[in-house]
Structure 1
């Protein structure tokens, strides 16, 4: 049996801080190739990625997706154990990536290797592993999916192994995610003396009116599977050091996490309409740029969701909540390829100093993934 906990520790010892590969994908490439997987490095624009398939192309295919890149460790002196030690002590694995998410990758890789070795299925298993989830995410899972399309590779369903449980195993699985869009608003008026406002056009007055309009009422009240959309003003600035000068320009940044009642385009159109109305009233120009990092999506409950939920319930004794909470993940790209859900470890210690995970939890996740494969190919 492949030891997912040992593989986790070995992966942690690879210093794969985005955008460095650090040896993590090379390690997995060797493990998977030895088990009979066809492996390909799918690096794009210097970003490291790994594609691995066991079984015939075009057969019924189960997919896993995850990442081996990690965020910086910060001050090593602040850690109880060195951040890339992969130390296993008293049933706990220590190091950067222990939770997010080298343990998840190790668990699904070990489960897949053991499954195809012990009971070769009538079908195929694909592992799509990126080194660019914690970074810009432009040449990671996106590159893998583009490569798969070019080479006629296809997953029928996919699990993203990100940590999905808030406090205990079996608590939650993700069947969708909210979308995220960041707006940068620039207000351009006319600079002048604060004592003579009639000779100026104050961009801050127009901008704050615009922002107040945005937060005056909720975007929506939520839907069946989604909480209400949320809007947060994250920055307001005019760079003005003088108290007696009306500035010429002012800027603000707004982030919206939105549910399936909206899209990035619909929210952009709404803000542009509101900005045009205030511009007409005040004479202050309001320009808006939008960065849509992901659209909302939902994998509707059905056979695939039920399969994963049933296995998790059997293995943990808890029926997981079907959730769309949290931030974005690479599932936002996979959902355009096939139905996707997220299930992984408890998310304690993600991105923190002294990131760590219990060995037993990694082994339990490996068992869950193994049983999912058995049920899928039964």
Structure 2
């Protein structure tokens, strides 16, 4: 068994369901310290964050990942216990196998191997880990980024080890991400008897026409980097359960995934204009999970493409699709950001798995990116 496989198994055995790190970062910190890394723990609330660096000055190359995982769901639905790693038919099974303990292990091994071969490398190599990526994402990299602003910590290039690949290792890299804006809406009405609607104010009726317009509108046309903005209702609830009561309020949760053709401010304003135009009596709370970002063609994208060509023999799709990642907090610091990791077909699923062959190739792939960036 290879070092990276053993390390991935060690991480999977730790039931680090978000935001519990379950000792993953302490174990990795001790290991990196033995390779000459300076390690710092940044704990905020219930969240552990690890910042490990080797070298000094610029350029600064950061590998970014998370040690937390999503809950397992029904344990008896798994073919083997989710926190007991098992290899079957060339696949490593366990919660976090793909998302993203394999990526974390590969980044650690790549950094160790690179500094062993290049102890006097130029610039700074760093690893940033959090236990709050799968959860609220408040006390994780978001908080660390605030601390980095205070310190004026420079980051030139950031490789996020999220599972980006679709069917084979390296067939897709993320070069940006859409922004995510959530609205939590309450429509205020007046409860009453359905036989006396003149004495009540039905919030469902009040919201119906506005909802039709919100779901029909084309928010923007997108651009070369991003598709058009999408709007989706994720939760809608009203009523008491009785068939003879007009409800007193309605609750809706909706989300925008948007690129740079719109802004969070413009989307908020347009929604509220539509609600007011339909005379909806409402309260609306907004949560911006992150703004969109895109990394232009440049040294990081070139290094990533060259490394994939060398180690995978393919030309990857360069995408800004998918959900969000912690890269959204690093890009505003002025860093170029790409995401590259194993196949994501089973992430968050029962019997989550990663190809052992892919896992064994991943450290060399990450190490090649470092080499291209630092020209070591």
Please report the TM-score for the alignment, with normalisation by the length of structure 2: 0.94
Aligned to 1:195: 195
Aligned to 1:321: 317
Residue pairs, 1:111-126, within 5 angstroms: 111-120=110-119, 121-126=121-126
Residue 70 of structure 1 aligns to a residue whose secondary structure is coil
CA 1:149 to 1:198, structure 2 compared with 1: closer, same or farther past 3 Å?
closer
Q: Shift of residue 270 of structure 1? A: 0.8
Q: Does residue 1:248 correspond to 2:248, yes or no?
A: yes
Q: Shift of residue 293 of structure 1? A: 1.2
Q: Shift of residue 308 of structure 1? A: 1.1
2:37/2:54 contact within 8 Å kept: yes
The C-alpha deviation readout for 1:232-258, integer Å capped at 9, x for no partner, is 112222223333332222222211111
Mean alpha-carbon deviation: is it higher for 30-39 or for 119-128? 119-128
Residue 227 of structure 2 aligns to a residue whose secondary structure is coil
Aligned to 2:74: 75
Paired with 2:187 and 2:77, the residues of 1 have a C-alpha distance of: 43
Q: Does residue 1:362 correspond to 2:362, yes or no?
A: no
CA 1:244 to 1:97, structure 2 compared with 1: closer, same or farther past 3 Å?
same
Mean alpha-carbon deviation: is it higher for 11-20 or for 150-159? 150-159
The C-alpha deviation readout for 1:80-134, integer Å capped at 9, x for no partner, is 2221112334432221111000100111111111011012311210100111111
Q: Does residue 1:377 correspond to 2:336, yes or no?
A: no
Give the aligned CA root-mean-square deviation in angstroms: 1.8
Q: Shift of residue 182 of structure 1? A: 1.4
1:181/1:264 contact within 8 Å kept: yes
Flag structure 2 segments of 5+ consecutive residues without an equivalent.
Answer: none
Q: Does residue 1:95 correspond to 2:91, yes or no?
A: no
Please report the TM-score for the alignment, with normalisation by the length of structure 1: 0.94
The C-alpha deviation readout for 1:6-53, integer Å capped at 9, x for no partner, is 211111111211121212111111110110000111111131111100
Aligned to 1:349: 346
Residue pairs, 1:231-310, within 5 angstroms: 231-279=231-279, 284-310=280-306
Q: Shift of residue 150 of structure 1? A: 4.0
Aligned to 1:185: 185
Paired with 1:87 and 1:8, the residues of 2 have a C-alpha distance of: 11
The C-alpha deviation readout for 1:156-186, integer Å capped at 9, x for no partner, is 1101110111111221111111111111222
Paired with 1:196 and 1:77, the residues of 2 have a C-alpha distance of: 52
Flag structure 1 segments of 5+ consecutive residues without an equivalent.
Answer: none
Q: Shift of residue 65 of structure 1? A: 0.4
Q: Shift of residue 2 of structure 1? A: 7.5
Q: Does residue 1:132 correspond to 2:132, yes or no?
A: yes
Aligned to 1:27: 27
Residue 336 of structure 1 aligns to a residue whose secondary structure is helix
1:181/1:293 contact within 8 Å kept: yes
Q: How many residues align?
A: 373
Residue 32 of structure 2 aligns to a residue whose secondary structure is helix
Mean alpha-carbon deviation: is it higher for 174-183 or for 309-318? 309-318
Q: Shift of residue 63 of structure 1? A: 0.6
